[in-house]
A and B are shown apart, each in its own frame.
Chain A
């Protein structure tokens, strides 16, 4: 079976090379049949990689330990679902999963746009094929997941790290992958536009949905990573500015910037060069993120030597990518340059620009700070590192500024905003934004940064609510229905706009959650049996330790009673699991008592069985759950923006008809007529 897998990789490499060559030659000679064959070859790559994936998944399911990769990341005790997800549990498999996804997504994107974007398609095929070739080459030449043991086959596997045997780890990597990989599609269309010189808006329209979808997955992947860190790693936080985390955040910033600036190009025809640049930079950052976390350049001093081959391969690819991409940008600069300039900074496009610069700055700062240890060593020979406080010092003001723009941008008019307009739009939000800090000050909340964050959150919320209410009022007057129905029609009719507002609102919720960090309480206590300790307004008591076993692991569970205001309110069970295959890596099971206001978060890092004493790490995390609520809303808003604009038009029209008072037949007719005429 392993040789079939290796064969599919080799074949996929050859076929994608053909696809790239045939597509380019076909486009240059204007030969439809050659382009067709390139597209066929392109689909074939996806088919081959599907077979390869089936082979490796089958190997995992059947415990085929002759394959090194399977032996390394699986064992016979592992539940089936973790056996299957071990596919992307390690380096080699994750690269393969990457190419597999790229081939599938690419095929879908080609299939969808084949008729509409005839000029672009050949080059889209070529660009994606070239990217596939790089990753396939990486596997074939250096990291083949189908490598087998030549001499003796071990009887059992080593097993995936217990930390990864967690439901979040089943969906987190693929979500992030989908986000990363799907960013290749906008890049390929952008490059095709540059190569062919068709730099009008058609490429943007072709990739709009792709970008939103991949952005959604990227956000989702980041969120799941945070939840995993919070629930599994047991240090009481969810984000530590670890290089691996930063790698996921980098393209998120530039992709977010692109989503906004693409809107400006659609509406005003501005920012063309900028948009292409953003697409290239985003794609570059996805590759760079892979490189950074996979080659070990950042994590350790020695790591560069550990996988020098891979580091070199990646470096060559990235340099080529940048040179070629920006070479085409420079070549097409004349075509890209728009006729118009921004009229006024006090306009929607002005705000988007400011947002874009901040996002770019955030991305580059993050890049700099993440690479700082490597940079400092290269420049001075001294390896110096920066910790989370340094990141926070910088990212906090950037984040707040972005939050401010979230509120301001959507209220500004396109082109320019008149003073009267400004007053109408910003009066209410501004009053709240001023009143809020005063109120907080009276409550004793420090003004920087928490007070500022809450004030901005209130400001943005008011701007969004105001938009919904005003829009609904207009519709209500026009249709004569009630507020609720007017609101539903409004949202159904411009899903993209109001979906966007929901996403903005979700950002506010997340910032509320982030601000909670300022009130975090953290304490470590050692409790003998029956002993208690007070932490914040809680009291916890050690009620003993129990041991159970399920065959795969031994589970040690601490029984902890929680008191508040003298009353016992709950019992929580922090634990420690010892997996048979990984005795040296006990895994802490965090006990979290969730609440709207705060989480009580308890870990049992240490215990003694003889006298039943336990060490507890207790963290009170205020408001943290609002981050997860925010992510749910973000998903909802994004999905809404993705729905076709015509959807639900009919249903909401019926709703309107049902609520309009008699004599309503005219009104209904008018409403229906209005619908039809649209």
Chain B
């Protein structure tokens, strides 16, 4: 009996350790820090080179697009209307329909010395009503 218990116990411990190890290893590559613009601006050097999901708002009239290309440059801030404490960002690719002045955005990418480099398909924009719509799309408890 105790022998069996020991065996079971050992199996569980080994499995748990293996699982924890795997989780740790996969998490290290896969995680991104979710940060607001002001948090990053407070100490930019600490966040350079890390995978970030940057939350903020697009500064009004800051969106620039290079002619005949999908290269965008824009600025993000922590608060709508704040044009002073801003972080420049650059992105190449298609932006969502809702990406516009003052739009609430989450940008996936890395902070570099010359600003935030958004990863491909890394712009998630939501205006409040769309956000709600998305939730309902869920339609339900589940979806």
The one of A94, A385, A524, A606 that contacts B31, using a Cβ cutoff of 8 Å: A385
Q: A386-B27, A526-B70, A588-B97 are in contact. Are A248 and B142 (CB under 8 A)?
A: yes
The one of B27, B94, B136, B139 that contacts A617, using a Cβ cutoff of 8 Å: B94
Closest-by-CB residue of A relative to B100 is: A584
Bound Cα distance from A594 to B95, whole angstroms: 25
Bound Cα distance from A88 to B138, whole angstroms: 10
From residue 1 to 40 of chain B, which have CB atoms closer than 8 A to chain A?
A: 26-27, 29-35
From residue 216 to 264 of chain A, which have CB atoms closer than 8 A to chain B?
A: 221-222, 225, 228, 235, 244-245, 247-248, 251
The one of B26, B35, B95, B138 that contacts A244, using a Cβ cutoff of 8 Å: B138
The one of A163, A586, A617 that contacts B133, using a Cβ cutoff of 8 Å: A163
Q: Give the shortest distance, in Å, between B22 (CB) and chain A (any CB).
A: 8
From residue 594 to 644 of chain A, which have CB atoms closer than 8 A to chain B?
A: 603, 605-606, 613, 615, 617
Inter-chain contacts of A613 with B (CB < 8 A) = 68
Bound Cα distance from A320 to B94, whole angstroms: 47
How large, as a class, is the contact surface on chain A? 35 or more
Is the pair A244, B31 in contact by a Cβ cutoff of 8 Å?
no
Interface assignment of B127: CB less than 8 Å from any CB of chain A: yes
The one of B70, B100, B108, B136 that contacts A524, using a Cβ cutoff of 8 Å: B70
Closest-by-CB residue of B relative to A179 is: B142
Interface membership of chain A positions 393-426, coded 1 if the CB is closer than 8 angstroms to chain B and 0 otherwise:
1100000000000000000000000000000000
Q: Give the shortest distance, in Å, between A313 (CB) and chain B (any CB).
A: 14
Given contacts A293-B142, A393-B30, 14 further A-B contacts (CB under 8 A): A98-B140, A177-B140, A177-B141, A177-B142, A247-B143, A289-B142, A293-B140, A293-B141, A301-B55, A384-B31, A387-B32, A528-B68, A603-B94, A605-B97
Is the pair A293, B135 in contact by a Cβ cutoff of 8 Å?
yes
Inter-chain contacts of A532 with B (CB < 8 A) = none
Interface assignment of B69: CB less than 8 Å from any CB of chain A: yes
Interface assignment of A161: CB less than 8 Å from any CB of chain B: yes
Bound Cα distance from A286 to B143, whole angstroms: 11
Q: A293-B141, A294-B141, A390-B30 are in contact. Are A585 and B135 (CB under 8 A)?
A: no
Inter-chain contacts of A605 with B (CB < 8 A) = 94-97
Bound Cα distance from A625 to B131, whole angstroms: 29
Is the pair B133, A161 in contact by a Cβ cutoff of 8 Å?
yes
Bound Cα distance from A172 to B143, whole angstroms: 8
The one of A88, A289, A294, A385 that contacts B34, using a Cβ cutoff of 8 Å: A385
The one of B97, B127, B135, B139 that contacts A587, using a Cβ cutoff of 8 Å: B97
From residue 331 to 376 of chain A, which have CB atoms closer than 8 A to chain B?
A: 373, 376
Inter-chain contacts of A88 with B (CB < 8 A) = 139-140
| 14 A-B contacts (beta carbon < 8 Å) | A163-B137, A176-B139, A177-B142, A247-B138, A248-B142, A293-B143, A301-B34, A301-B55, A384-B31, A393-B26, A526-B70, A605-B94, A605-B95, A615-B94
Interface assignment of B85: CB less than 8 Å from any CB of chain A: no
Bound Cα distance from A456 to B29, whole angstroms: 28
Q: Give the shortest distance, in Å, between A5 (CB) and chain B (any CB).
A: 20
Interface assignment of A118: CB less than 8 Å from any CB of chain B: no
Q: A173-B143, A390-B26 are in contact. Are A585 and B97 (CB under 8 A)?
A: yes
Interface assignment of B98: CB less than 8 Å from any CB of chain A: yes
Is the pair A228, B137 in contact by a Cβ cutoff of 8 Å?
yes
User: Contact residues of A with B, CB < 8 Å?
Assistant: 88-91, 94, 98, 160-161, 163-164, 169, 172-173, 176-177, 179-180, 221-222, 225, 228, 235, 244-245, 247-248, 251, 286-287, 289-290, 293-294, 296, 299, 301, 373, 376, 382-387, 389-390, 393-394, 524, 526, 528, 576, 582, 584-588, 603, 605-606, 613, 615, 617
Q: Give the shortest distance, in Å, between A397 (CB) and chain B (any CB).
A: 10
Bound Cα distance from A615 to B139, whole angstroms: 31
The one of A247, A296, A615 that contacts B142, using a Cβ cutoff of 8 Å: A247
Is the pair A526, B139 in contact by a Cβ cutoff of 8 Å?
no
Is the pair A180, B137 in contact by a Cβ cutoff of 8 Å?
no
Q: A164-B133, A526-B69 are in contact. Are A180 and B142 (CB under 8 A)?
A: yes
Inter-chain contacts of B142 with A (CB < 8 A) = 176-177, 179-180, 221, 244, 247-248, 251, 286, 289-290, 293
Bound Cα distance from A98 to B143, whole angstroms: 13
Inter-chain contacts of B139 with A (CB < 8 A) = 88-89, 94, 164, 169, 172-173, 176-177, 225
Inter-chain contacts of B130 with A (CB < 8 A) = 161, 163, 585
Bound Cα distance from A383 to B139, whole angstroms: 27
Inter-chain contacts of B96 with A (CB < 8 A) = 605
Inter-chain contacts of A177 with B (CB < 8 A) = 139-142
Interface assignment of B132: CB less than 8 Å from any CB of chain A: yes
Q: A524-B94, A587-B97 are in contact. Are A98 and B141 (CB under 8 A)?
A: yes
Inter-chain contacts of B70 with A (CB < 8 A) = 524, 526, 615
Inter-chain contacts of A390 with B (CB < 8 A) = 26-27, 29-31
Q: Give the shortest distance, in Å, between A534 (CB) and chain B (any CB).
A: 17
Bound Cα distance from A289 to B30, whole angstroms: 24
Is the pair B136, A373 in contact by a Cβ cutoff of 8 Å?
no
Bound Cα distance from A425 to B70, whole angstroms: 57
Bound Cα distance from A208 to B64, whole angstroms: 60
The one of B100, B134, B136, B143 that contacts A221, using a Cβ cutoff of 8 Å: B143
Closest-by-CB residue of A relative to B36 is: A301
Interface assignment of B53: CB less than 8 Å from any CB of chain A: yes
Closest-by-CB residue of A relative to B55 is: A301
Q: A161-B129, A161-B132, A585-B130 are in contact. Are A293 and B138 (CB under 8 A)?
A: yes
Bound Cα distance from A89 to B34, whole angstroms: 30
Closest-by-CB residue of A relative to B142 is: A248
Bound Cα distance from A172 to B69, whole angstroms: 38
Inter-chain contacts of B69 with A (CB < 8 A) = 526
Bound Cα distance from A652 to B26, whole angstroms: 55
Bound Cα distance from A582 to B128, whole angstroms: 12
Bound Cα distance from A606 to B69, whole angstroms: 11
Q: Give the shortest distance, in Å, between B29 (CB) and chain A (any CB).
A: 8
Inter-chain contacts of A585 with B (CB < 8 A) = 97-98, 127, 129-130, 133
Inter-chain contacts of A603 with B (CB < 8 A) = 94
Is the pair A91, B143 in contact by a Cβ cutoff of 8 Å?
no
Closest 6 CB pairs of A and B: A173-B139, A161-B133, A290-B141, A390-B30, A248-B142, A244-B138
Q: A526-B68, A582-B129 are in contact. Are A383 and B141 (CB under 8 A)?
A: no
Bound Cα distance from A294 to B35, whole angstroms: 23
Bound Cα distance from A179 to B31, whole angstroms: 33
Inter-chain contacts of B100 with A (CB < 8 A) = 584
Inter-chain contacts of B35 with A (CB < 8 A) = 383
Is the pair A164, B135 in contact by a Cβ cutoff of 8 Å?
no
Inter-chain contacts of A526 with B (CB < 8 A) = 68-70
Q: Give the shortest distance, in Å, between A301 (CB) and chain B (any CB).
A: 7
Inter-chain contacts of B53 with A (CB < 8 A) = 385
Inter-chain contacts of B32 with A (CB < 8 A) = 384-387
Bound Cα distance from A585 to B133, whole angstroms: 11
Interface assignment of B93: CB less than 8 Å from any CB of chain A: yes
Q: A225-B143, A585-B127 are in contact. Are A606 and B137 (CB under 8 A)?
A: no
Inter-chain contacts of B132 with A (CB < 8 A) = 161
Closest-by-CB residue of B relative to A249 is: B142
Bound Cα distance from A299 to B29, whole angstroms: 22
Q: Give the shortest distance, in Å, between A254 (CB) and chain B (any CB).
A: 13
Inter-chain contacts of A225 with B (CB < 8 A) = 139, 143
Closest-by-CB residue of B relative to A158 is: B129
Bound Cα distance from A286 to B108, whole angstroms: 31
